[in-house]
Amino acid sequence: MSNIVQEVLAANQNYAAEFGNKNTLGMPPARRFGILTCMDARLDPAKFAGLAEGDAHVIRNAGGRASDDAIRSIVISYKLLGTREWFVIHHTNCGMEFFTNDVMRKLLASSLETASLTEHGFQDVGKGPGSRAGEYIEWLTIADQEQSVRDDVEHIRQHPLVSKNIAIYGYIYDVSTGKLREVSPTRRAEEAA
């Protein structure tokens, strides 16, 4: 077995020991903005975007895609907690570029064990049985990084529950340099209007 649970709890003890006055933070993000980005382990939005506790909302999922659930969170974020600006940040070398709906569905139908990423893409190496339940999920894979950012910015901007006053910016994070690069044209709401 792994030692992950012990490691996490030990790290948390250290964190709590240095907690300071963070018990005074308010619930609404103090800097009134949010970030939608990928769950990729190489990305740390608190570090690459300079966030401290209490500053901003961060929504993460596979790809940083504007899924229904991401939009649910964004609407709650601005409507109830006052955020006014959002960043959609996808990244280079995203795992979501290495498969399609069809590939994912076939892999899951074959087995529920972890697949291997080979030079021919993800290949199933586990033993079955798998499940065909993946047929019912839209996996929101990425064929083109810039286009996926533009699509998600536009999808959020055009959503009937998202106020036109919310500014939405589109960026790509480069995992080889740590730099953010703006995707154009995804300028802020008031410029697009």
Enumerate binding residues for Zn ion (CB under 5 A). 38, 40, 94
Complex with Zn ion: residue 36 or 166, whichever CB lies closer: 36
In angstroms, what is the minimal distance from the CB of 65 to Zn ion? 9
In angstroms, what is the minimal distance from the CB of 39 to Zn ion? 7
In angstroms, what is the minimal distance from the CB of 42 to Zn ion? 8
Complex with Zn ion: residue 140 or 189, whichever CB lies closer: 140
H/E element holding 121?
Answer: strand 121-123
Angle value at C-alpha 139, between 44 and 192, nearest 5 degrees = 70
Complex with Zn ion: residue 96 or 156, whichever CB lies closer: 96
In angstroms, what is the minimal distance from the CB of 93 to Zn ion? 8
Complex with Zn ion: residue 51 or 94, whichever CB lies closer: 94
Complex with Zn ion: residue 115 or 162, whichever CB lies closer: 115
**SS3 letters across the chain:** CCCHHHHHHHHHHHHHHCCCCHHHCCCCCCCCEEEEEECCCCCCHHHHCCCCCCCEEEEEEHHHCCCHHHHHHHHHHHHHHCCCEEEEEEECCCHHHCCCHHHHHHHHHHCCCCCEEECCEEECCCCCCCCHHHHHCCCCCCCCHHHHHHHHHHHHHCCCCCCCCCEEEEEEECCCCCCEEECCCCCCHHHHC
In angstroms, what is the minimal distance from the CB of 40 to Zn ion? 4
CA distance 95 to 21: 38
In angstroms, what is the minimal distance from the CB of 180 to Zn ion? 14
